[in-house]
Amino acid sequence: MEFSPRQCADLLDIARGVIRQTLAGRPAGIPECHDLDLYQPAGCFVSLHEHGGKLRGCVGRLDATEPLIAALSSAAVSVLGDQRFRHEPVTLAQLRQIELELSVLSPLRPVPNVLAFEPKVDGIYLSIGGRGGCFLPQVARQTGWSREQLLDRLCSEKLGVPPASWRRPEARLSVFTAIVIGPEPFERAIVSESVANPVEV
């Protein structure tokens, strides 16, 4: 799956619209869209960061059981309720300080062992005894963590189990790739006509 610059802009604008509506207390359904490519089934995550990189929310779904536009709309609503930030939720007034990033995911692909992945290319989904959690590929790119470090942190941060639990025989890993759109400022700068067309005085 690939997206044109126009489609990337449309996906970002759809997420912006859903987030604004949700923060304003209005129900945000699936937006109308005439681009049939955006109805292909795909998993999708929406991430919000403050300028400078501090995470303010990252929520989505891995499975490709819904059209992309539906998965994106659902993730855009859910990211505002990310439980890690329930004591400091993003508000309408803060959107000027927020950057928006979308990750459109390939289908999950099981691998033969838990170390059979490329950290800066693959996203990872680890399951152990009924618990599961994932890291997007951006995590390794941003942190530089090794395979073992990624798995340790995934166990402790997402699965709530001891860091070395990925070494247990029942641990299973699946991988995926992501098309990353953004990050872009949530509120795009508006260039005034006087700035765009300076006048000498």
123-179 pLDDT tens trace = 999 999 999 999 999 999 999 999 999 999 999 999 999 999 999 999 999 999 999
Q: Which residues lie below 8 Å from residue 166, measured CB to CB, with a gap of 6+?
A: 114, 126, 128, 151, 152, 154, 155, 173
Output the pTM of the full model: 0.87
The whole-angstrom separation of Cα 61 and Cα 105 is: 9
58-92 pLDDT tens trace = 999 999 899 999 999 999 999 999 999 999 999 99
* Domains detected in the chain: 5-189 (3.30.700.20)
